[in-house]
Structure 1
Amino acid sequence: MKPMPFPRITGEGLCAWMGPAFILILIPAWLNMGFLPPPSPQSSADEIAAFFRKNADEIKLGAMMTMQFCMLGLFWTAAIFVQLKRTKSQLAQTLSYLQFIAGAVAYSVFTLPTILWTTIVFRSERPASEILLLNDFAWLALVMPVSSAMIQAAAIGVAILVDAEKSPIFPRWSGYMNLWVSLTFGPGMLATFFNHGPFAWDGVFVFYVPLAVFTAWVFVMSYLVSAAASQKSDQREDSVHSPAG
């Protein structure tokens, strides 16, 4: 299989790259907030309160940026929707709507934790026990609602795999990739049972693996959507300039 060249950027492709744009805002913002690595679920109320009071300005800025720019993911989700709608399979077209709705819900998940973190630092003189409660709420609200992201990735994967055309919109391997991505998000639902170890909210299977997979998934799908949009644009130009056109 020969390597694919970087696709020509179209309007649809530009929408697809809004997903990586959000990632490039999210990671530095969270590093500045002190959330990479996340505060431990085992930390005491006084430790959590001291952390938020020390980093109040950084958390205000990072929470605000995450809250506002997470909606860039809607452009990414819409770009995938447009490409999946091009398939002739009725099932794939139905799943395109499902992934769009699930994607909109998945990106909105970022808003509740950031509102809670902002609430903490808005009045950081509040009792340590209240800060601990709000922080617990925020992290569990971030890592546990995984069903929307799982449904989005699974819907994309199945839609790609049922495309039986000789020249499919997306390569078949990307369908299996999306199904695998869906599974990697699953452990987040277990965070309610653990306050330490790999299944806690700061654990490898709940935080680090999903974050790494999410980042790679967004970039790969952005490339594939951009390539598909570029190919569609080229086909339109060929049709316009053909003798028949």
Structure 2
Amino acid sequence: MDESVKFKLYRMSVWCGVVVLIANTFAFSVVGKLTPPISPTATPQQVADFLTDHRTGILWAAVIMGVFAPFFYAFAVVTSLQIRRIEGGWGLLSMIQLTTAVVAPTGWVYPLAVLATAAYRPHRDPALMQLLSDQFWLTYVGVAVIFVVNVAVIGLSAFLDRRPEPVFPRWFAWLNFVLAIAFFPGVFVYVATDGPFAWDGVFTVVVPSVAFVVWKIAMIVVLLRAVKSEEREVLGERELPVPVAG
């Protein structure tokens, strides 16, 4: 493959992160109207009424994420390729980042598919609709803890980088460590029905949601810079004169 084409694909993969961020925000907040979340203490009838009132939006939110969530895979791969530069080849950190990033699209699409199932037939038994709604929120919020490993590994790779021109800036390492901590409380939704650790709580929804936007924007900025620095390295090597034997 021509190097110029390769780096164009890399940049397109980074911008896929922008596509996913916009689609995620639009699907969940604007179309599905799932922010703020319904209370975990809502009665079956209240849940059924919510799903019935928002049925069309929820179904279209599932469609939107079904179309755009896979763009995250390109974003995840280009991230691993940059960590690979730090490791000098495929290694533990680049592979952990890649495998944990695979969870992200599934963590959006699968829970939405469950909620769409609940909303699909509005005359379903309210108790069953509540059951499916519970599964959506517990899965959507709770599974985000896997993302802690992903973010922490990116931070660790930046921290361990000893290249003369680091792939990621050092401040980015500390930012990822802080954001990894911000994502962690989501796992406690399984044991809380109210308060800051419930699925509508400040530590499980509000803080992680803000952290995700900050992380995504920071990732896009540093990845674009990293791709540019890699391109300079590759093109610089190609421009070096070939020594003449003699």
Other-structure match for 2:207: 209
User: Could you tell which deviates more after superposition, 211-220 or 65-74?
Assistant: 65-74
**CA displacement at 1:211 relative to structure 2:** 1.0
Q: Match for residue 79 of structure 1?
A: 78
Letter in 2 for 1:219: I
Q: For 1:83 and 1:109, how far apart are their aligned partners in 2?
A: 24
After superposition, give the CA deviation of every residue in 1:68-87 in whole Å (9 maximum; x if it has no partner). 32222111111110111112
Correspondence for 1:46: 45
Matches within 5 A, 1:29-40: 29-30=27-28, 31-40=30-39
Deviations 1:162-182 (A, max 9, x none): 111221111111111111111
Displacement of 1:25: 0.9
After superposition, residues 36-115 of structure 1 pair within 5 angstroms as 36-88=35-87, 93-115=91-113
Cα displacement (A) at 1:240 = 3.4
Give the conservation status (yes or no) of the 8 Å contact 2:168–2:226.
Answer: yes
Partner residue in 2 for 1:19: 17
For the residue of structure 2 that corresponds to 1:87, the secondary structure is helix
Alignment of 1:233-244 (within 5 A): 233-244=231-242
Contact 2:72 2:105 (8 Å CA) reproduced: yes
Q: CA deviation at 1:63?
A: 1.6
Amino acid paired to 2:117: T
Aligned to 2:180: 182
Contact 2:107 2:144 in 1 (8 A): no
- In 1, Cα distance between equivalents of 2:154 and 2:182: 15
Identify the residue that residue 163 of structure 1 maps to in structure 2: 161
Q: CA deviation at 1:60?
A: 0.5
For normalisation by structure 1, the TM-score amounts to 0.90
Number of residues of Structure 1 aligned to a counterpart in Structure 2: 236
Q: How far, CA to CA, are the matches of 2:177 and 2:131 in structure 1?
A: 35
Change (3 A) 1:173 1:122: same
- 1:84-106: CA deviation from partner (whole Å, max 9, x where unpaired): 1112467x832011010001023
Q: Is the 8 A contact 1:64 1:114 kept in 2?
A: no
Structure 2: tracts of 5 or more residues without a match: 1-6
* Bigger fraction of residues in helix: 2
1:197 aligns with 2:175: no
Normalising to structure 2: TM-score of the pair? 0.89
2:145 to 144, 147, 171: 147
Percent of residue pairs identical? 25
CA distance in 2, matches of 1:125, 1:115: 18
Unmatched 5+ stretches in structure 1: 1-8
- Counterpart in 1 of 2:229? 231
| 3-state SS of paired residue (1:110) | helix
